[in-house]
Structure 1
Amino acid sequence: MLHGAGPGASGWSNYWQNVEELSKSYRVILLDQPGYGKTDKVIPENEARSEFSARLLVGLLDQLGIDKAHMVGNSFGGRTSLVMALRYPDRVGRLVMMGPAGGSLNIFMPEPTEGMKLLHGFFKEPGPSREKMRQIVDTFLYNKELATDALVDSRYAVAVEPETRKFYEHFLSTPDKREPELWRELEKIKHRTLLVWGRDDRTNPFEGGLFMLKRMPDARLHVIPQCGHWVQYEKCDEFNAILTSFIEAA
């Protein structure tokens, strides 16, 4: 399970509501992508961040003795999942991606989107603040009752740790131009794919799902109303059910 790239993100912060239920049926590997959570704050010099993350993920699978795994990725975790499917297709079972980054072009919503503006502006002058984090969380969620002070505080505390802040500032202040245009390669992905999108996603809008659905040979799209960018968090029970059904289907 691969988390997104926003400030304060980690495997646990993205998926803590899903792990217990999914672990009843599957071996769940919840990890922090490079630079997030408790991982080393490494800035790759010669490759895009998503390709760096995918390469390290293959190394992890090797260490665990896992030949093939299903990929579940939200936002930037979806981008890493796409890179895995394209660069290491034999290591990927099925793909489940929620509001994935990098797989589509916005047709109706102008770029950068509201959510992306907030992400890239978090560390810009006058610097990060709890109020900026509140704006990000409010934008990511449709149901504002879920945007609790505890959630805002926990992500803000992680984001402003000195080493973590250096890493975030490097990647969030300026988009990485080395990132591949994955949307140009979607036709190559033969894996059975489930795209899950919040209808009210203001970061990676759900029209991206239609773009990907048309280009991926074996994709299906599930759109959830009254739901934002964090599908697995905001609609955790529905997400757990549709993921399980998809993985179990013949």
Structure 2
Amino acid sequence: MTVDLRHKPGSLPSLSAESTLRELQTERGVLRYHEAGEGPPLVFLHGSGPGVTGWRNFGGVLEAFAEHFHCYILEFPGFGVSDPTDLHPMPAGVQAVTDLLDGLGLEQVDIIGNSMGGFVGTQFSIENPTRVRRFVTIGGVGLGIFGAFPAEGINLLVEFTEDPTRERLIQWLRSMVFDPKMVTEELIEERWAQATDPQTLESARRMYSRAAMKAMIEATATSDAPPAWATLHRLKAKTLIVWGRDDRVSPVDGALVPMRTIPDVELHIFPKCGHWAMIEQKEAFESTVLSFLRRGEGTAS
């Protein structure tokens, strides 16, 4: 069952977090999402990190995309907006995409995923090739070739997760952007409040504690399953990779392997841009991604 929390029938609500908020009851609890616009369905998948939400990742670009698409900004379980989960956030995220599409009766969609949302969108697209028409990933899929792993931004995220202090949050936020002026007091305060919520912090530690990172590296080294980057040739959706040239969380060399292995793929790199291309290069991002999604005759059903 889906519940429209704020929408007034017969009019498009103002595009605020409150007016666009919706709820969907699933077997795994309540999923929350933001909805606006008319047209082919387009799903936004947010990243991870302290205090993140779907709205904070994509609320600023929603108006531009809602002019052309029926937009859904999903709030992943484990980040303080949808109901919490005991699962690792990545598989919980893939399941949440399935639950959202099934619950709303969406047979085929376009997807835009930032960072973790890019990984989730990639996995969902590979597992459900007929359900994703076009896919956009923002610094969220690939394999680092030249730099050390983890990168600077991930190390700062681990430090915050292990010992959450306001100063560590600021250090991590500054690693996310090219222009440090974007890290305002307002941004710090809203992120701090959510990042230190006990349930949200517990979920973050499933991904970014030192123990979780060590377990991931060991599992990758000993598993007989192919690594995620080795399955990218199975991604059938038309794909656009966008990246910030100055990304210190997922350095831009990570785009090289997916650029060569995804069958139908394009790459766009934004200058003077960190990990949040949709925020730091907002107008260029909107123009580039809308051009890709709207190109040609076909539309999502």
TM-score range (shorter-chain normalised) is over 0.9
> In the aligned structure 2, how far is the partner of 1:184 from the partner of 1:41?
31
> In the aligned structure 2, how far is the partner of 1:22 from the partner of 1:64?
19
Report what 2:187 is aligned to.
Answer: 151
Asked if 1 retains the 8 angstrom alpha-carbon contact of 2:110 and 2:134, the reply is yes
Q: Match of 2:159, as an amino acid?
A: G
1:61-107 CA distance string (max 9 Å, x none): 1111110111100100000011111111121111100000xx32211
> In the aligned structure 2, how far is the partner of 1:162 from the partner of 1:186?
35
Q: From the superposition, tell whether residues 51 and 90 of structure 1 become closer, same or farther in structure 2 (CA, over 3 Å).
A: farther
Report what 2:65 is aligned to.
Answer: 22
1:101-133 CA distance string (max 9 Å, x none): xx3221111111001101112122xx2011111
Asked if 2 retains the 8 angstrom alpha-carbon contact of 1:201 and 1:229, the reply is yes
Q: Tell me how many residue pairs correspond in the alignment.
A: 243
Match of 1:62 among 102, 106, 119: 102
Asked if 2 retains the 8 angstrom alpha-carbon contact of 1:51 and 1:83, the reply is no
Pairing 1:198–2:244 present: yes
User: Highest Rg: 1 or 2?
Assistant: 2
Report what 1:209 is aligned to.
Answer: 255
1:132-160 CA distance string (max 9 Å, x none): 11111100000111111111111111000
| Pairing of 1:1-250 with structure 2 (within 5 A) | 1-44=44-87, 49-100=89-140, 103-124=141-162, 127-173=163-209, 174-175=212-213, 177=216, 181-250=227-296
Higher relative contact order (CA 8 A, sep 6+): 1
1:172-201 CA distance string (max 9 Å, x none): 202363787310101111211000000000
Q: From the superposition, tell whether residues 37 and 238 of structure 1 become closer, same or farther in structure 2 (CA, over 3 Å).
A: farther
Asked if 2 retains the 8 angstrom alpha-carbon contact of 1:82 and 1:182, the reply is no
Q: Match of 1:92, as an amino acid?
A: V
1:47-68 CA distance string (max 9 Å, x none): x642331122112111111101
Instruction: Give the structure with the larger strand fraction.
Output: 2
Asked if 2 retains the 8 angstrom alpha-carbon contact of 1:98 and 1:197, the reply is yes
> In the aligned structure 1, how far is the partner of 2:161 from the partner of 2:52?
15
Q: Match of 1:210, as an amino acid?
A: L
Query: Which is worse superposed, 66-75 or 54-63?
Result: 54-63
Superposed CA RMSD in Å reads 1.5
Structure-2-length-normalised TM-score:
0.77
How far did residue 36 of structure 1 move?
Answer: 1.3
Query: Which is worse superposed, 56-65 or 73-82?
Result: 56-65
Q: Match of 2:50, as an amino acid?
A: P
Q: Match of 2:51, as an amino acid?
A: G
SS at 2:268's partner residue? strand
Asked if 1 retains the 8 angstrom alpha-carbon contact of 2:76 and 2:93, the reply is yes
Query: Which is worse superposed, 180-189 or 192-201?
Result: 180-189
Asked if 1 retains the 8 angstrom alpha-carbon contact of 2:85 and 2:92, the reply is no
> In the aligned structure 2, how far is the partner of 1:193 from the partner of 1:97?
8
How far did residue 23 of structure 1 move?
Answer: 0.8
User: Percent same amino acid among aligned pairs?
Assistant: 33
> In the aligned structure 2, how far is the partner of 1:51 from the partner of 1:184?
18
SS at 2:192's partner residue? helix
> In the aligned structure 2, how far is the partner of 1:90 from the partner of 1:36?
29
